[in-house]
A and B are shown apart, each in its own frame.
Chain A
């Protein structure tokens, strides 16, 4: 490329300035704050790594390995990363591919997309209705009673072993529309002739999907997956409106912990330490993305 070395910088300048002021600077402050008590959001007493030590040794809502299976926000977040990401990307991809072939494409996409447009408060209300332990109010228990005679209603949000799955499903319900729209944009962007060629060569639909379509949209799958993982790491709204982290702290995730410690409990230092852990947790996914950039760079 024989363009001026400054032209690239010129293109990213507006973004760089904006992000430096609005995101990078507060992030640096947060890292500093995580080493402090942070009374009233001010640096007040430097305490080194004590916040981090306390998180891993004294906070049973965050990290508790005294029992098997281990419990706490960190482990719940791991569960979210696995199930939420798989659910949203998997179902999103399924709909994006299948809807492409039917005449009611717009209808089905709208239906899957709709939850994204609902505010978290409203989503929280509707899912508390769905999961209500009372079969007169909760549709899930009403169905259970109708199809399994003699069954007891299940307190979906009241049982520590179920609550995470129940909230994650509500999360998948909301965010699948996101994965679907982005993946669909990628599929629409595929050159038709390639797919047609594969098909005429006699490849089955299944083969075409895995051998031709999937490699071409893989970068987008990675982008959507990474976005979903990042989403999980900082998510707090849904847990906040559906369970408040309960019952008995069983549905806490790290984004929720950060919010509650910082703003409800007023411990900005402690909350900042949780935020720093979020930043650290994203590193493996950054490396994954870096590898991809390098690979693309070679082909440039």
Chain B
């Protein structure tokens, strides 16, 4: 009995070993490995485009996925085992890899073809969107999906009942805020436990106060310091939202202990706890998944973040994912040229999962919610990338998150907070 058990386990171990040592993958098959940050239905949508690539070229795409894409990529790149291609959500990280020599130029500084055809790139993308992936004059990242982060979500019925229409200026937005409060309702829900919701607020205000050029000088080059009067002015405008505390569901403390999903749910659930919610275009998809009874575009929808200074209008702050190449193989080259083309972009956009920055995608392919998001991106007076993703990670992550969380909980400390951010910026550029 004992002996047979031993033999059995030995056999089992042997079988496992054989199994585990087996060939890694089919030989002779043409492959591209792709690392992305999203899974689920978003990944299934991407697969539709990838299938088109496989049937057009015979190259198979192996998709790996993790929401912790930045840490995993850092580890695997340093360990010598990167994927061929990755879809990276932070331009700041793309720049870091470009300077380390870990990724290949897509289009060279002199405009000649690198991994991909310069012609295809320019035929499908506007210069503004190409620039997001440029590091030191060389195109390293291809913006494959985009989204607006300038959407203020609201309930048309509630706004109409208050006697207001969609605001186009900051003063109107504050008037609505005050009117809600006067009517005994809580105007805003904020999910400040996720610090990036607060940086998104700040970025939208700042680009409207200082303009897109100064925005880049603050986040990308740090030519503007965090103690600059323009930053102070933007923060003081944000203060009009977060004070008095009755503006916020749960006050300052409640706002800082709530994640961004809870904050959205609070506005759109049957017995709502607030009336307005500012976050990106992706909130539409989350709300309609969480509340299938609500009709998108009618029961809930979004307006473009209102203008503050007439000369700067309403620029769109946006996010997006950049495709970068860790290896230069013929398969990777074919992949980039296909993904940059109109066919791939159209298939992917038609799933409703993303907004394509490709200008040749017909807007009629989008779903109601995606069209709202796509419309803002396509019609943007100016498009600037999410500043906290442009800044070095140490500044754009925890430092800005905590700085703004500090501000929500105690706006009187503005001077100290900005000095802290300036110190961090000083150490990281």
Could you tell me if A58 and B423 are in contact, using CB atoms closer than 8 angstroms? yes
Q: Which of B74, B259, B271 contacts A263 (CB 8 A)?
A: B74
Q: Which of A54, A155, A246, A249 contacts B254 (CB 8 A)?
A: A155
Give A158's nearest chain B residue, CB to CB.
Answer: B257
B258 at the interface (CB under 8 A from A): yes
Could you tell me if A41 and B74 are in contact, using CB atoms closer than 8 angstroms? yes
Could you tell me if B256 and A40 are in contact, using CB atoms closer than 8 angstroms? no
Q: Which of B256, B258, B393 contacts A265 (CB 8 A)?
A: B393
Q: How far is the CB of B142 from chain A (nearest CB, A)?
A: 22
B331 at the interface (CB under 8 A from A): no
Could you tell me if B100 and A39 are in contact, using CB atoms closer than 8 angstroms? yes
User: In the complex, what residues of B have CB within 8 A of residue A244's CB?
Assistant: 193-195, 401
Could you tell me if A246 and B78 are in contact, using CB atoms closer than 8 angstroms? no
Q: How far is the CB of B74 from chain A (nearest CB, A)?
A: 5
Q: Which of B257, B397, B406 contacts A264 (CB 8 A)?
A: B397
Could you tell me if B398 and A263 are in contact, using CB atoms closer than 8 angstroms? no
User: In the complex, what residues of B have CB within 8 A of residue A261's CB?
Assistant: 394
Could you tell me if A263 and B402 are in contact, using CB atoms closer than 8 angstroms? no
Interface stretch of the complex, out of A128-136, A179-187, A213-221: A128-136
Chain B 92-112 near chain A by CB (<8 Å), digits 1 or 0: 010010001010000000000
Could you tell me if A40 and B262 are in contact, using CB atoms closer than 8 angstroms? no
B341 at the interface (CB under 8 A from A): no
Q: Known: A40-B102, A137-B262, A267-B394. Contact between A249 and B253, CB under 8 A?
A: no
Q: Which of B257, B273, B409, B423 contacts A156 (CB 8 A)?
A: B257
A243 at the interface (CB under 8 A from B): yes
Give B265's nearest chain A residue, CB to CB.
Answer: A137
Interface size of B in residues (CB-CB distance below 8 Å)? 39
User: In the complex, what residues of A have CB within 8 A of residue B96's CB?
Assistant: 40, 266
Q: Which of B77, B266, B406, B427 contacts A134 (CB 8 A)?
A: B266
Give B192's nearest chain A residue, CB to CB.
Answer: A247
B300 at the interface (CB under 8 A from A): no
A90 at the interface (CB under 8 A from B): no
Q: Known: A247-B193, A248-B409. Contact between A266 and B254, CB under 8 A?
A: no
Q: Which of B78, B102, B398, B423 contacts A245 (CB 8 A)?
A: B398
B420 at the interface (CB under 8 A from A): yes
Cα-based distance from A136 to B96 in the complex (angstroms): 44
Q: How far is the CB of B251 from chain A (nearest CB, A)?
A: 9
Q: Which of A39, A54, A133 contacts B258 (CB 8 A)?
A: A133
Q: How far is the CB of A239 from chain B (nearest CB, A)?
A: 12
Cα-based distance from A244 to B398 in the complex (angstroms): 9
Q: Known: A133-B250, A134-B258. Contact between A263 and B195, CB under 8 A?
A: no
User: In the complex, what residues of A have CB within 8 A of residue B77's CB?
Assistant: 40
Q: What 10 A-B pairs are tightest by C-beta distance, nearest first?
A: A158-B257, A155-B257, A263-B71, A41-B78, A265-B393, A265-B394, A158-B256, A40-B100, A248-B405, A247-B256
Given contacts A42-B78, A133-B257, A134-B266, 11 further A-B contacts (CB under 8 A): A39-B100, A40-B78, A58-B423, A132-B258, A134-B258, A155-B258, A244-B195, A247-B402, A261-B394, A264-B397, A265-B397
